Amino acid sequence: MIHEISYLPPNFTLSSSLLDQLSARSGSQRCIRGEDGQLLLILHDVPEPSVPERKAVFFWFDGHHWHGAENEGGKDLTLLLDAYVEAIDRLEAIVEEADTAKEIFALIRHAAPLARTTRNFYHALADAVNFSPRDRWLRHAKDRAHEIERAAELLHADARVTLEFMRAESAEEQARSSEQLARLGFRLNLLAGFFLPLVALGGLMGMNVELPAFVNGGFWFIFFGGLIMGGLILFAVGYKTGQHEQNR
């Protein structure tokens, strides 16, 4: 097998037992062990929002010391853990200051892959600790990764709860607005019901019509009777509606 893997750091001189377990792509976060006690820890950098690809970060244990791509392995891993902490702190500040559902939704799109990446990050370190149980520095890194995983999961859950709360609050505001519009519509109907007879009466009084003598009494009886009946209906509708509003 030709062990030409371009994504590995040039300062890594991995044994063939490790190289045989790799492919043309770095793949998921994991820790692989060679037959001679060497370890290769493959982790991912902090994921970028809306970017499906992950940038792999490699750590190699030669049997005696850990090596990073640029520095000593412990320093590089500490810097990587610090980058995750900074990303989570930055998103937590956005959750506290966000005022719109659009802002929270954009945050969730970043928090979800962050939570998933930190979970796999921790599992990869846990596998490395199982391969090298006496490595105290590695155990410390694993414990810190577990805290970061927990913080990322809480961030994701908090963002989702905040979004659901905003949706519920918006629905309540829309319900209150609809109720206010219904009350305003009813009041307008009452005003129309009150002024319509007055307008009709004004129009009637403005007419110069001579009625026969035998219908004068009946006309005024029907006219005033209609006004009284309309007033009673108006009062009854308003009273019933008022009782309904009080019961609610």
**What would the pLDDT profile of 96-111 be if each residue is shown by its tens digit?**
887 788 888 888 888 9
Bridging pattern class, strands 66-67 and 30-33: unpaired
Please write the tens of the pLDDT for every residue from 141-165. Answer: 999 999 999 999 999 998 888 888 7
Examine the pLDDT at 2 and tell me if it is beyond 50: no
Neighbours of 88 (CB within 10 A): 20
Instruction: For residue 66, give both structure tokens.
Output: 């850990």
Could you tell me the pTM of the whole model? 0.67
CB distance 18 to 34 below 8 Å: yes
Nearest of 33, 42, 32, 46 to residue 9 by alpha carbon: 42
Q: Tell me which of 123 and 186 has the higher pLDDT.
A: 123
22 has pLDDT over 80:
yes
Q: Is residue 137 part of a domain?
A: yes
Q: Are 195 and 227 in contact (CB under 8 A)?
A: no
The answer to the question of residue 50 being in a domain is yes
Confirm whether 144 is domain-assigned.
yes
Q: For residue range 194-244, what is the model confidence (pLDDT) as tens digits? A: 666 666 665 655 555 565 655 555 566 666 766 776 677 667 666 655 555
Q: What is the DSSP string of the chain?
A: -----TTS-TT----HHHHTT--SS--SSEEEE-TTS-EEEEEEPPPPTT-----EEEEEE-SS-EE-SSSBHHHHHHHHHHHHHHHHHHHHHHHHH--SHHHHHHHHHHHHHHHHHHHHHHHHHHHHHHHSTT-HHHHHHHHHHHHHHHHHHHHHHHHHHHHHHHHHHHHHHHHHHHHHHHHHHHHHHHHHHHHHHHHHHHHHHT------HHHHHHHHHHHHHHHHHHHHHHHHHHHHHHHHHHH-
Number of domains in the chain: 1
Residue 93, pLDDT > 50, answer: yes
Residue range 73-87, pLDDT digits in tens: 778 899 999 999 999
In a domain? residue 29: yes
Query: Which residues constitute the domain of residue 85?
Result: 16-171
Question: Which tokens go with 23?
Answer: 């492919």
Question: What pLDDT shows up at residue 203?
Answer: 61
Does the residue 67 lie in any domain?
yes
pLDDT the model gives residue 1: 43
Q: Rounded to the nearest 5 degrees, what angle is found at the Cα of 92, between the Cα atoms of 89 and 94?
A: 115
Place of tokens 């006690």: 37
Does a structural domain hold residue 1? no
